[in-house]
């Protein structure tokens, strides 16, 4: 997890295009300036970052299902529930599932756990559009490689 | 069984918190009811699920942007209901 770059997902453990599910890991860093303010003496991951981590997990799933032809952007967060504190150094396992594929949008559900303990969940809606800039596509390809996006799920030119 | 329009009107009322009795077949979703594009995503999701279809929003939007269709053809509710009926019929014909 590189909080300063908003790169929250470290690795993809499983991507099932047929089932439209993904499981990823996100390692919360031991140290970050974020924890100095949130909160002094009681550092915890902000709920907005946990929501973003669930959104990025869903985003990788959608990229895979859409064969990297379109880029998803978070549009709506529903039923976001922060069920327990997430502390520095903890390892998040995040699962996401596509609930609906509409025309130009998709809806996912996501859950994040530490060990077996459910820490947060949300229903997320994304708009998706063709990549607005080639540089973004290059960047996402590089990120996909970095986090172990399955090669067989990557489009080959 | 309620009509397609009634189902759409109920979805819009519940999704956008608009009084049901203000929604008529002549209502324009955008111009009269003030539904924005984000709320319409929610409505599309609910309609897709309720009718088991995939409303081709991108195609419709493109047609409007290209001047090949008017927003009234898709977003006046009686017309939207007709489009949905067509999509349901096409789905059933292909099933």
> In chain B, what residues touch A107 (CB-CB under 8 Å)?
45
pLDDT value at A70 more than 60: yes
Strand pairing class (A21-27; A91-101): antiparallel
Residue A155 — pLDDT band, cuts 50, 70, 90?
confident
Q: What CA–CA distance (Å, rounded) separates A140 from B77?
A: 40
> In chain B, what residues touch A75 (CB-CB under 8 Å)?
38, 41
Residue B70 — pLDDT band, cuts 50, 70, 90?
very high
Give yes or no for A75 touching B (CB within 8 A): yes
Instruction: Say yes or no for a CB contact (<8 Å) between B58 and A107.
Output: no
Within 8 A by CB and 6+ apart from A37, the residues are none
Is the alpha carbon torsion for A70, A62, A140, A1 positive or negative? positive
Q: What CA–CA distance (Å, rounded) separates B89 from B1?
A: 17
Strand pairing class (A11-16; A21-27): antiparallel
**Phi, psi for residue A114 in degrees, rounded to 5:** -115, 115
In terms of Cα–Cα distance, which of A11, A4, A52 is closest to A143?
A11
Residues A37-68: pLDDT tens digits? 999 999 999 999 999 999 999 999 999 999 99
Residues B16-58: pLDDT tens digits? 999 999 999 999 999 999 999 899 999 999 999 999 999 999 9
A38 is catalytic: yes
Task: Considering only the beta carbons, identify the residue of B41, B49, B59 that sits closest to A76.
Answer: B41
Give yes or no for B14 touching A (CB within 8 A): no
Residues A19-38: pLDDT tens digits? 999 999 999 999 999 999 99
CA atoms within 13 A on the CB side of A139: 9
Residue of A nearest to B41 (CA): A105
Q: What CA–CA distance (Å, rounded) separates B77 from B69?
A: 15
Residues A128-145: pLDDT tens digits? 999 999 999 999 999 999
What pLDDT, on a 0 to 100 scale, did the predictor assign at position A151? 80
Scanning chain B, the segments in alpha helix (DSSP H) are: 4-16, 37-51, 57-65, 71-75, 77-94
Within 8 A by CB and 6+ apart from A65, the residues are A17, A20, A98, A101
Q: What is the residue-wise DSSP string for chain A?
A: -BGGGTB---EEEEEETTTTEEEEEEE--S--HHHHHS-TTS----HHHHHHHHHHHHHHHHHHHTTTSEEEEEEEEEEEEE-S---TTPEEEEEEEEEEE-SSEEEEEEEEEETTEEEEEEEEEEEEEE-S-HHHHHHHHHHHHHTT--GGGS---
CA angle A95, A97, A101 (to 5 degrees): 155
Q: Which value does ipTM take for this structure?
A: 0.87
Task: Considering only the beta carbons, identify the residue of B38, B48, B59 that sits closest to A102.
Answer: B48
């Amino acid at each position: 997890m590189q909080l300063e770059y908003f790169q929250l997902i470290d690795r993809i453990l499983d991507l099932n295009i047929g089932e439209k599910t993904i499981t990823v890991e996100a390692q919360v860093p031991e140290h970050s300036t974020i924890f100095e303010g949130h909160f002094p003496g009681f550092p915890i991951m902000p709920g907005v970052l946990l929501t973003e981590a669930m959104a990025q997990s869903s985003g990788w799933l959608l990229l895979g299902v859409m064969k990297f032809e379109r880029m998803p952007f978070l549009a709506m967060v529903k039923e976001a529930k922060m069920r327990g504190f997430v502390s520095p150094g903890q390892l998040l396992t995040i699962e996401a599932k596509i609930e609906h594929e509409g025309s130009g949008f998709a809806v996912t559900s996501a859950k994040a756990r530490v060990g077996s303990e459910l820490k947060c969940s949300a229903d997320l809606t994304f708009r998706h559009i063709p990549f607005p800039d080639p540089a973004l596509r290059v960047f996402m390809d590089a990120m996909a490689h970095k986090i172990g996006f399955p090669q067989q799920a990557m489009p080959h030119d | 069984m309620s009509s397609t329009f009634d189902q759409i009107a109920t979805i819009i009322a519940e999704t956008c918190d608009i009084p049901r009795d203000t929604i008529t077949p002549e209502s324009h979703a955008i111009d009269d009811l003030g539904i924005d594009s984000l709320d319409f995503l929610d409505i599309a999701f609910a309609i897709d699920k309720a009718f088991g279809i995939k409303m081709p929003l991108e195609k419709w939007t493109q047609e409007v942007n290209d001047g090949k269709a008017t927003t009234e053809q898709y977003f006046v509710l009686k017309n939207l209901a007709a489009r949905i009926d067509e999509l349901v019929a096409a789905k059933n014909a292909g099933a």
